[in-house]
Amino acid sequence: MLDNGSTDRSYEIAASYLGNGVLSVRRVPTETFEWAILLRMLCQWAWEFEAHWCVLVDADTFLESPRRRLTLLDAIRQEADLGHNVIKFNNFEFWPTPLDPSDEPDVRKRVTYYTYNDDNQEKCWANLPGVDIAQEAGHQVFYPPGIEKSISPNHFVMRHYKIRSYEHGLRKVFQQRQPRFRGQPEGWHIQYSWMSPARECFVRDPSTLTKYEEDGQWNLTPTLGRDGRPLR
């Protein structure tokens, strides 16, 4: 676990699991949020631990196998056996709607409407010498000359729950993210720049989205644009 100045006891909580699922805990304080530095450190760290494969999981995402009968680990093993060293994920962005049951604690059961956003999510890769995931902010994997990049044609599933309620959205976007992202490289962390405090920016009309039925069937046609406006 790489801690970058958290204030919610993340470091202490992770440290309590050392030897029980957590290999190491390190603090890397920076004056501002330095995502590229952290990504390079994670690659270096993975090399120190001799990891065969790496998976980059954000706090607001769930990564899944595209085949419902296979765990994520087993699906990765299959792709490795086929000779691939990078796995892309389809990014399905889930949004709160007025239909969400307020008493459901599991976000995957509460927030069930989504739009397909993109497949520019190379979140899993073979840990080979010189790998770099910082060039494109953790979205793409780069190997040095001499190592051929082989992306699996089988896209895996990424469920993205970046906004979980109106109150959560206000806090995350305007108190946490926008101030933290100031001074980042051009084009990085712009996913919230279009948003205003208006409720409709966070709680969406379900008719502009697709309901997921937990059946493994996904709609790959976007229903919202990058500016959050409906496309249909």
Q: Please give the Cα distance from 216 to 157 (Å, whole number).
A: 10
98 and 209 Cβ atoms separated by less than 8 Å: no
pLDDT (tens place) for every residue of the chain, 232 residues total: 888 888 889 999 999 999 998 888 988 888 777 888 889 999 998 999 999 999 999 889 999 999 989 999 999 999 999 999 999 999 999 999 999 998 999 999 999 999 999 999 999 999 999 999 999 989 999 999 999 999 999 999 999 999 999 999 999 888 877 666 666 566 555 667 778 899 998 999 999 999 999 999 999 999 988 767 777 6
